[in-house]
């Protein structure tokens, strides 16, 4: 069968450095860090006392008060970014076939703050089971996809993907497949996360995964720097509207980019650590390139997973050099997590938006906070350290990798 072309016709974002795609992009180019002291709870006894919280978010700008009360924060983020994206796409809900519009929306953790709060109330209530009737629908990781479809009446494929930090990239990949295989004409896809809670921070601290640079949080996320020592937890949401190319052209949609191909692999190695030689990371990039039927030389920029962990950054760099060979020296590479922190299940969504805007504006956002070269990382590679760089960009590859060895790559190209 002939596979249909898929393009991006709308975007929405709620991030630690901007609550719209334009704000987010402007702060990426300015090298703005979203890290600061945590405001949600008392961090006195925590090893890490900072994170990249979303700032100035008002759910009532998107939802009525009654609706918002029935949603966990992660779902509120999801709804806000999706409403933005639908508006940006200029979809006329009255004129499209709603049965051919679907939603695949991810979260790695779901409504952890709701679950945490309800358990705390139960414990403090002498064991009397007085639970909120909305506990389950607020908590489950698939509810954002359901809420988005209910709001607009979208009756196409509808579900969530859960693969830790690769969750929203897998959602984008699945949505892409739905359209190119003819199962839908339009898909709303992306991911949301709101895990900056006592449990979220405590759990990642226990894994020794987080930076503890409490004296200088804005410089804590430092991918590829010799002195990196863990990631910074972030939160927020990103949404893409994917659309079949001819459908988009027929309605006169503004097209940001084309989804060229995707790859999905597993490390089959360790529950939290990446393969030290980057075998899964290398194979997922190869699969994406094969799916896109593109030569390696057409990739100009890689938005890396780049979490700022000692092992993960080196593993990904090894994979890039293994796959791209000499062309790796001609690439721009950057990790926007240096500014947003790590949004877990929403990372792939907001980093796809950064990749698409880099393609649109022909500018590579920087990797900030680099001060000392890591001798284990090839200094000839261009990590776009500390300052955005203008360059011709034909295609961008976006990597996301998750605990459990879940790997996903998505390629966007000019139309």
How much is the mean pLDDT over the chain? 97
Q: Give residue 127's pLDDT.
A: 79
Region 357-386: what's the mean pLDDT? 98
76-134 confidence digits (pLDDT tens): 999 999 999 999 999 999 999 999 999 999 999 999 999 999 999 998 887 789 899 99
- Which residues, at least 6 apart from 220, have a Cβ–Cβ distance to it below 8 Å? 35, 50, 211, 213, 230, 232, 308, 369
- In angstroms, the CA 199 to CA 207 distance is 12
Q: Give residue 126's pLDDT.
A: 76
pTM of the model: 0.97
Q: In what order do the strands lie in the sheet with 158-159?
A: 158-159, 101-106, 186-193, 236-244, 6-14, 257-266, 406-413, 395-402, 301-303, 332-334
- Tally of CA atoms within 13 A in the half-sphere of 255 that contains its CB: 20
Alpha carbon 295 to chain centroid, angstroms: 26
Residue numbers annotated as active site: 165, 305, 342
Alpha helices for 92-193 (secondary structure H): 112-124, 135-139, 143-152, 167-180
192-214 confidence digits (pLDDT tens): 999 999 999 999 999 999 999 99
Band of residue 1 on the pLDDT scale cut at 50, 70, 90: confident
């Amino acid at each position: 069968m002939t596979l249909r072309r898929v393009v991006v016709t709308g975007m929405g974002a709620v991030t630690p450095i901007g609550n719209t795609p334009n704000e987010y992009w402007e702060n990426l180019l300015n090298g703005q860090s979203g890290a600061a002291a945590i405001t949600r709870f008392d961090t006195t006894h925590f090893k890490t006392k900072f994170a990249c919280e979303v700032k100035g978010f008002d759910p009532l700008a998107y939802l009525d008060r009654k609706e918002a009360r029935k949603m966990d924060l992660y779902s509120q983020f999801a709804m806000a970014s999706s409403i933005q994206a639908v508006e940006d796409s200029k979809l006329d809900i009255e004129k499209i076939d709603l049965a051919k519009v679907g939603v695949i929306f991810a979260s790695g953790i779901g409504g952890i703050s709701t679950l945490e709060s309800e358990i705390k109330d139960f414990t403090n209530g002498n064991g009397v089971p007085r639970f909120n009737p909305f506990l389950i629908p607020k908590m489950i990781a698939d509810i954002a996809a359901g809420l988005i479809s209910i709001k607009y009446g979208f009756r196409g494929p509808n579900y969530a993907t859960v693969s830790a930090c690769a969750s929203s990239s897998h959602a984008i990949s699945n949505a892409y497949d739905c359209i190119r295989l003819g199962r839908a004409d339009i898909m709303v896809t992306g991911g949301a996360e709101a895990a900056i809670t006592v449990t979220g921070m405590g759990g990642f601290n226990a894994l020794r995964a987080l930076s503890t640079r409490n004296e200088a949080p804005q410089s804590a996320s430092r991918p590829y720097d010799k002195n990196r020592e863990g990631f910074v937890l972030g939160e927020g949401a990103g949404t893409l509207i994917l659309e079949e190319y001819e459908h988009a052209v027929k309605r006169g949609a503004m097209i940001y980019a084309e989804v060229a191909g995707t790859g999905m692999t597993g490390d089959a190695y360790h529950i939290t650590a990446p393969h030290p030689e980057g075998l899964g990371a290398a194979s997922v990039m190869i699969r994406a390139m094969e799916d896109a039927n593109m030569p390696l030389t057409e990739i100009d920029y890689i938005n890396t997973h780049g979490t700022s962990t000692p092992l993960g950054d080196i593993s990904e760099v090894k994979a890039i050099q293994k796959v791209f060979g000499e062309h790796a020296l001609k690439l721009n590479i950057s990790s926007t997590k240096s500014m947003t922190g790590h949004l877990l299940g929403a990372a792939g969504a907001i980093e796809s938006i950064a990749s698409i805007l880099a393609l649109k504006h022909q500018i590579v956002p920087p990797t900030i906070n680099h001060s000392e070269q890591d001798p284990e990382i090839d200094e000839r590679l261009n990590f776009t350290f500390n300052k955005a760089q203008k360059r011709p960009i034909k295609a961008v590859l976006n990597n996301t990798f998750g605990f459990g060895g879940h790997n996903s790559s998505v390629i966007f190209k000019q139309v």
